Amino acid sequence: MPDAPASLLDTWRGTVLPQWVDYNGHLNDAYYMVVFSQATDALMAMIGLDEAGRKATGHSIYTLEAHINYLQEVKQDAAIVVRTQVLGSDAKRLQIYQAMHRADDDTLLAANEQMLLNVDTTAGPRAAPFAPTVLARVQMLTVAHKSLPQPKHAGRRIALPG
Amino acid sequence: MPDAPASLLDTWRGTVLPQWVDYNGHLNDAYYMVVFSQATDALMAMIGLDEAGRKATGHSIYTLEAHINYLQEVKQDAAIVVRTQVLGSDAKRLQIYQAMHRADDDTLLAANEQMLLNVDTTAGPRAAPFAPTVLARVQMLTVAHKSLPQPKHAGRRIALPG
């Protein structure tokens, strides 16, 4: 693998499907997470945990926590992209930020922070350190993304104003 | 409406559908949110914003933010229930906690905190104070639920340990 670039990863491109919208023709709040989940699958592939990698290592990634900010309504058939930033990692965890943008004018539509956990699926499943080749990629991305600005919608706690 | 009880609201009952599970036969992380979203619809009906109420007031509820904790795997066909606690409110916002439990042994499977916003859909849409009858129910629930214990998985910020 070449050096990881200090730029967000392109992890999803597509359009808002008819089965994802509500009675108003807007992306339903639950289906933002379907898109983000597929973006997480793409990130897994980038660190070596696609289907072949999962089989070879016996490992997979579980989502422990997710925090979504819904910023704009999104209409059916809208073209959207998701870009992913690695915020941090340790021996078995990966903290990421996913930004959903409108493809044409780059408007930020939603933001999702996630804590992911590496698990050994052959043993329970239970939490396990990343396999060495996976860890190398996780660390490379973590270092590369350290120079990126901290996203406004990460690290938030839900609270009423004031 | 009678006095709101100081107990969690029963907002969803059902089973995990085949189209919600991943290749391992477990509820996919994105589809927990589909269940929680339907539980939010049930809460909306309880405060007077079912379809008839939305039509009468011109108002609806948008989700601003959601924070999920994934605590247990959930298998296809599992019977689950969601119970909802009102954590707080103001003139146009409602902060809630939703707990997903296994129906048979009451195991906590996932927890979701949400910030909801009342919107006038005839004007933009834009944020608007709750209609008076809706506000009365929101305030009744907020007062009734103040005596309940604060849930462990509310008010969280995503962070690596240590």
Per-residue pLDDT of chain B in tens (162 residues, 90 and over written 9): 455 667 899 999 999 999 999 877 899 999 999 999 999 999 999 999 999 999 999 999 999 999 999 999 999 999 999 999 999 999 999 999 999 999 999 999 999 999 999 999 998 889 999 999 999 999 999 999 999 999 999 999 999 998
Specify the higher pLDDT residue, A54 or B4: A54
pLDDT for the residue B3: 58
Domain boundaries, chain B: 9-145
Per the structure block, which two tokens stand in for A160?
A: 């009423």
CB contact under 8 A, A157 and B156: yes
Share of chain A above pLDDT 70, in %: 97
Residue-by-residue DSSP string for A38-65: HHHHHHHHHTT-SHHHHHHHSEEEEEEE
ipTM confidence:
0.94
Q: How many CB pairs under 8 A join A and B?
A: 98
- For residue A111, give the chain B residue with the closest CA: B65
Bridge partners, residue A85, by sequence: A97
Domain A9-145 has CATH 1.10.630.10: no
Cβ-Cβ contacts under 8 Å, A139 against chain B: none
Contact of B159 with A96, CB cutoff 8 Å: no
Residue in the block written with tokens 């209409």: A75
Bridge partners, residue A65, by sequence: A115, B69
Q: Which amino acid would we find at residue B68?
A: I
Lowest-pLDDT range of A20-24, A96-100, A130-134, B12-16? A20-24
Task: Using alpha carbons, select from B81, B80, B96 the residue that is nearest to residue B47.
Answer: B96
The answer to whether residue A156 neighbours chain B at the CB level (below 8 Å) is yes
Cβ-Cβ contacts under 8 Å, A36 against chain B: 30
CB contact under 8 A, A160 and B67: no
Which residues fall within 8 angstroms of residue A52, CB to CB, at 6 or more apart?
A: none
∠A148-A151-A156 over CA atoms, to 5°? Answer: 145
What DSSP designation does B21 have?
B
Cβ-Cβ contacts under 8 Å, A59 against chain B: none
Contact of B82 with B100, CB cutoff 8 Å: yes
Per the structure block, which two tokens stand in for B98?
A: 């939703």
Contact of A41 with A14, CB cutoff 8 Å: no
Helix (H, G, I), strand (E, B) or coil at A11: strand
Cβ-Cβ contacts under 8 Å, A37 against chain B: 28-30
Which residues fall within 8 angstroms of residue A132, CB to CB, at 6 or more apart?
A: none
Per the structure block, which two tokens stand in for B45?
A: 């009906």
What dihedral do alpha carbons A28, A86, A145, A111 form, nearest 10°?
A: 20
pLDDT for the residue B22: 87
Can you give the pTM of this predicted structure? 0.95
Contact of A158 with B65, CB cutoff 8 Å: yes
Per the structure block, which two tokens stand in for B64?
A: 């601003």
Residue-by-residue DSSP string for B39-100: HHHHHHHHTT-SHHHHHHHSEEEEEEEEEEEE-S--BTT-EEEEEEEEEEE-SSEEEEEEEE
